[in-house]
Structure 1
Amino acid sequence: MNRNHRAAVLTLVAAASLLAACTKKPASEHTDVRPVRTVVVGRSNGTVGANYSGEIRARYESQLGFRTAGKVVARMVEVGSHVKRGQPLLQLDPTQETLQVAAAGAEADAARSRVAQARVDVKRTEQLLAQNFASQAELDQQRLALNQAEAQLRSAQARQQLNANMRGFTTLVADRDGVVSAINAEAGQVVAAGQSIVTVAADGEREVSISIPESRVDELRKATTLTITVWAHPEKSWSGKLRELAPDADSVTRAYSARVSILDADADPSLLRLGMTASVMVPDVNGSGAMRVPLTAIVDHERGRQVWVVDPKTSRVTAREVKLGAAQNDSVIVVAGLAGGETVVSAGVHMLQPGQQVKVAKAVALAQAGGSK
């Protein structure tokens, strides 16, 4: 009897253990509720695109330098000075050029004297030939000497003019009205001929210099309207037009440089100062709307990018693969993977697991695609 009683007890214990195992919840089902922030994704109505940061530049910029080498002895302008066409900017020491002008003048005077003497010799020989005291060969020789003297005089006069010009080149002058944006030499510095010394940004047209990634080059070419804003005056906007696009990418950044002309900059030029931070808004070429989600909603994993979508009925999350477009400010365009009206987790994404229940702290409708003011 004792043996049978022990077997019955063991059978009851095994049955209770099996029953407890059958009633245990699956390990994959999460019982903890995570607090998260969410956004409701909506499709925008306006055009969307990308913003490119750049700076305000002048349409024409002159890199000025001396035509002769020498030592800088005077600097008449500063960076930011407004200059007029022909205004002196820097001065080289003219001592050497002055001596060369003097030497060329003396050489020209000597050549002029030789010409005068050769003319006297020709005239005298002609008189002697008329009296049969000289031969025709002597006259021909005197005329040849006169031609040589006159050629030497022309050469000396040309050198004299050349040296006079070189002395004038010791003063660097502005070639147009504008603002001095850079000076690369100081008094006492020896500079070479042709070296860039002063940069003058011409008055008038203004444009924005930007860099474009290779994936957006065609979009920029096809864009019919561009909107320009500056950080200093966010309430203002200007129309723009692509003027120049580099044919090849920069060797370091691998981006294409572009120049966007500001069409109505003359309306109030004081608002657009050189070097200001500007933003060029490139609208969607097809004119279609798009959806945006915050950058904080994107989760990177080995297969790509995903977001957590909240089921409004069960408050549980599901991982959704998405395809992204261009980023703008703190959001990014979702090209594929989401539908309008879905709720996406925007904060707390790295603490979630598939099927986990969440507690929504705040839901924000994100239908505004963004754009220039």
Structure 2
Amino acid sequence: MLRHAWSIALPAAAALLLAACGQETAPPAAPRPALVVQPQPASAVADSYPGEVRARFEPELAFRIGGKVSKRLVEEGQRVKADQPLAELDPQDVRLQLQANRAQLAAAQANLALVQTERERYQKLLDRQMVSRSQFDNAENLYRAGLARLKQAQAEADVAGNQADYAVLRAPQAGVISKRQVEVGQVVAAGQTVFTLAADGEREVVIGLPEQQFARFAVGQPVSVELWSQPNQRYPARIRELSPAADPRSRTFAARIAFDSSKAPAELGQSARVFVAHEGQPALALPLSAVTAEQGQAYVWRVDKDKRLQRVAVRLGAYGADSVPVLDGLAPGDWIVAAGGHVLREGQQVRPVDRSNRDVDLAAKE
């Protein structure tokens, strides 16, 4: 029995010994390479806001009386001249009102002629002492009342005549119909906007400013404008007007940007971009791929002198096409991981490399 047990135990021990000899300690994982860059001076970096070229003066046109639209004479986008008819109301009601006022005017004129004759007759009788003074005073009062009634009827007839003219809406000046808000057959009230006219003359750019940055803008602040039709060509401009209240839907504040020169080739409806430079702060720029965000907080991965990663929260400006200005959180000499930040972790050791996959000396500047 003992011999049998040894015959089983010895092969098993030999197998365990051989297995232990075959296992070697795994070498530590090599640090993963990480593309790093340093923040670059962003003197040319500025916040940019998309906008649209509009006319400086955009009056909203409306009828001065209410009624049913019988004719619409222009279309949206059509150029019009000063005093050109734009739309007409059904004139039947205003014509009837004008006829009624003219009839009242005629009645007032006839009444005045009658009381004037009576007054003159009573004046002669009074001179002969054939009537009392009170009878003459009564005739005098009737004459004065008739005269006042004639003036009232004349004014009402003039108003009715004006309202007949108000049935035709005319352009106050030359320009382009930028918006139409009426159709034939529609009943409109007095003062209801029918057309919006983009008047000829100065052109401006309308943009929306975010409420978290609204405090840094002021009327008269210099900016620059780039038109979509003129890429890489910026025109000097300034903020002419800031809205005191935010738009209830977009929560942005409207701003109107005026060109410093009338030579800017800006046409109605063109797309534009307004650039606002940063003041009083050294802006640094990073590639867009270097920035990651979590729960609304932007951050980057900084490589320390031991080649370990540190997560650093940053405050950013407006995003550009391929870079973003960093307003707070970084120093010019920091080394930042340029891509792949979503797979990194705090304290992880990396091997910094440049875009040519060469090792980077963190003690040297890029």
Task: Say yes or no: TM over 0.5.
Answer: yes
Report how far residue 63 of structure 1 moved: 0.6
Which residue in 2 is equivalent to 1:371?
none
Q: 1:300 to 1:30 in 2, by over 3 A?
A: farther
Q: Could you tell me how far 1:227 is from its partner in structure 2?
A: 0.5
State the match for 2:37 in structure 1: 40
Query: Could you tell me which of 330, 335, 342 is aligned with 1:350?
Result: 342
For 1:323, the equivalent position in structure 2 comes to 314
Q: Does 1:207 align with 2:207?
A: no
Decide whether aligned partners of structure 1 residues 306 and 141 sit closer, same or farther in structure 2, where only a CA change above 3 A counts. closer
The number of residues matched between the two structures is 350
Alignment of 1:4-19 (within 5 A): 17=20
- On the 8 A contact 2:36/2:353 being kept in 1, the answer is no
Question: In 2 relative to 1, CA 301–15 (structure 1 residues): closer, same or farther, beyond 3 Å?
Answer: farther
User: In structure 2, how many angstroms separate the alpha carbons of the residues matched to 1:108 and 1:118?
Assistant: 15
Residue 197 (structure 1) shift: 0.1
1:275 aligned partner: 269
Query: Contact conserved, 1:320 with 1:337, CA < 8 A, in 2?
Result: no
TM-score, normalised with respect to structure 1: 0.81
> Which residue does 1:296 correspond to in 2?
289
Alpha-carbon distance in structure 1 between the residues aligned to 2:56 and 2:129: 77
Alignment map for 1:237-316 (pairs within 5 Å)? 237-264=234-261, 266-268=262-264, 271-286=265-280, 289-301=282-294, 304-308=297-301
Residue 19 of structure 1: how far off its partner (Å): 11
Native 8 Å contact 2:219 2:240 kept in 1: no
Identify the residue that residue 132 of structure 2 maps to in structure 1: 135
User: Using a 3 Å threshold, how does the CA distance of structure 1 residues 258 and 302 change in structure 2: closer, same or farther?
Assistant: closer
Verify the 8 A CA contact 1:213 1:254 in the aligned structure 2: yes
- Give the AA of the match of 1:326: G
Residue 174 of structure 1 is aligned with which of 158, 171, 178? 171
Assess, with a 3 A threshold, how the Cα gap between structure 1 residues 81 and 302 changes in structure 2: closer, same or farther: closer
The residue type equivalent to 2:274 in the other structure is V
Match of 1:99 among 96, 100, 108: 96
Unaligned runs of 5+ in 2: 358-366
Q: Structure 2 residue aligned with 1:333, among 316, 325, 332?
A: 325
**TM-score under structure 2 length normalisation:** 0.82
User: Is 1:82 matched up with 2:79?
Assistant: yes
Residues 223 and 292 (structure 1 numbering): CA distance in 2 closer, same or farther, change over 3 Å? Answer: farther
Task: Tell me: CA distance 1:242–1:224, structure 2 relative to 1, closer, same or farther (3 Å).
Answer: closer
What amino acid is the match of 1:283? A
Aligned amino acid, residue 319 of structure 2:
Q
Output the CA distance in 1 between the equivalents of 2:123 and 2:109.
21
2:292 counterpart letter in structure 1: V
What do you get for the CA RMSD once the two structures are aligned? 3.4
Deviation, structure 1 residue 131: 3.1
SS in 2 for 1:79: coil
1:282, CA displacement in angstroms? 0.5
The higher-RCO structure (CA 8 Å, 6+ apart) is 1
Q: Deviations over 1:124-180 (max 9, x none)?
A: 122223333322222111111111111111111111111111111101111222211
Structure 1 residues 43, 136: CA separation in 2 closer, same or farther (over 3 Å shift)? same
Deviation at 1:81, TM superposition (A): 2.0
Contact 2:71 2:89 in 1 (8 A): yes
Change (3 A) 1:81 1:39: farther
Matched with 1:366 is none
**Cα offsets for 1:86-142 (capped at 9, x unmatched):** 221111111111111111111111111111111111111222233333222221111
SS state at 2:217 partner? helix
Amino acid at match of 1:147: R
* CA-CA distance at 1:310 after TM superposition: 6.4
Given that 2:37 and 2:354 are in contact with CA atoms closer than 8 Å, whether structure 1 keeps it comes out as: no
Is 2:105–2:153's contact at 8 Å kept on the other side of the alignment?
Answer: yes
Which residue is equivalent to 1:24?
26
